[in-house]
Amino acid sequence: MDAPVPKAAASAPVPTGYFRWEPEEDDVLICRAVREETHDVKTFVFAPRHRRQFEFVSGQFLTFEFEIGGEIIHRCYTISSPPTRPDTVAITVKRVPGGPVSNWLHDEFQPGMMLKATVPMGVFSWSGMQATKYLFISGGSGITPMMSMTRASFDLALISDIAFVHAARSPADIVFRDELDFMAKRNRSIRPTFIVEDDAPRETWSGYRGRIDGAKLAMICPDFRDRTVFVCGPAPFMRAVKTTLKEAGFDMSRYHQESFNFDDFTEAAQDEITEATEEIDSGVRVFQLEFAKTGRTIECPEGMTVLEAARRAGMRLPSSCSKGLCGTCKSKLTSGSVEMKHGGGIRQREIDAGMALLCCSRPKTDLVIER
């Protein structure tokens, strides 16, 4: 006879006793496997070039360096594997039409090939929490951080109550569907529910349809107001979920949201550009920012970050976390100086070489930037 879902839970898993992957050590990873999850999603499994184990917490991300077409590109990908399997680390990537990195990974990257990556970073995690009940809500490839948490809970046989709601376009687009069903059959405290918008060519969907709203959430997880919620997915998806929870009277102090844009930086996938409709205060000092590769020169008022000034001027620069964590916006300054307060996304030797994170760099002089 199946046991009921337990009412108490241990704290979230934080693996200990593993060798740290130090940032100043060899940061080259070797691809050990490539796994097809859906028609447009693949998982890439990596191991360190020199034998040691990874130390991270579920929900963290890696920033990879890619050389594609002679250009260096940095991208952040959340770790989809759990910290309970420390010999390898995996990322799960959706192919984005026109996206240079995701298409290169899907078409060209193979086991045995190597990439440079930073140490795991990020604070979107349940590590250390003492909550007894969780609600994970994900859309599309935003499933990856929650999958890392769920896998860790399953591996450690934690008595955690996890309601896992995942939204996808069709049954064929549900990432990790079989694995989540497998875990649910063997651990009654893990309860996945899938919501799709359309049928798949070979499957007529009999479950929940449409988009997540208050009525569906109440049917799927009647006690959602009592849970700690983690949300990850495309920006419009997360905004809709957040609004739904607020309107339902959810205590937003227990709401956690990943802030990354997981897609490649294409015209359609980049963050929305901030429109500069206001005039710059005439009493504020204004610096000139010259972008050497594009030939553009823009103005940046004192106290504003380079990235924000570029966005206001209609420029589309690579960025992801906007917190100085990921390194996606890392750029070379060939002239000028900035005040930079970062969160670990750049090394001292890179700063010494004239690199800066544009998302958290405020000009102190006019600048020339290699972009």
Mean pLDDT of the chain: 86
139 with 107, same domain: the answer is no
The yes-or-no verdict on residue 146 having pLDDT over 60 is yes
179 with 238, same domain: the answer is yes
Is residue 97 a part of any domain in this protein? yes
- Backbone angles phi and psi of 244, in degrees to 5: -60, -45
The yes-or-no verdict on residue 125 having pLDDT over 80 is yes
Question: Which residues contact residue 152 at a Cβ distance below 8 angstroms, ignoring those fewer than 6 apart?
Answer: 12, 13, 15, 58, 82, 83, 84, 158
Is residue 267 a part of any domain in this protein? no
* CATH number for 179: 3.40.50.80
164 with 105, same domain: the answer is no
From the list 327, 322, 336, 344, the residue with the least C-alpha distance to 369 is: 336
Q: Can you tell me the mean pLDDT for 120-137?
A: 89
160 with 236, same domain: the answer is yes
243 with 212, same domain: the answer is yes
Is residue 71 a part of any domain in this protein? yes
Count of domains observed in the chain: 3
How many CB atoms sit inside 10 A of residue 252's CB? 11
Is residue 22 a part of any domain in this protein? no
Q: Look up residue 291 and give its amino acid.
A: F
Determine the pLDDT at residue 3.
Answer: 41
Is residue 323 a part of any domain in this protein? yes
C-alpha span between 303 and 320 (Å, rounded) = 21
115 with 140, same domain: the answer is no
Domain extent for 295? 286-370
CB 162 within 8 A of CB 58: no
* CATH number for 341: 3.10.20.30
Taking the CA of residue 364 as centre, how many other CA atoms within 13 Å lie in the half-sphere pointing to its CB?
7
Query: Residue 183: pLDDT band by 50, 70, 90 thresholds?
Result: very high
Is residue 11 a part of any domain in this protein? no
Query: Residue 326: pLDDT band by 50, 70, 90 thresholds?
Result: confident
The model's pLDDT over 67-115, given as tens digits with 9 standing for 90+, comes to: 999 888 888 899 999 999 999 999 999 999 998 999 999 999 999 999 9
138 with 117, same domain: the answer is no
Q: Of 71, 97, 121, which residue sits at a domain end? A: 121
Is residue 220 a part of any domain in this protein? yes
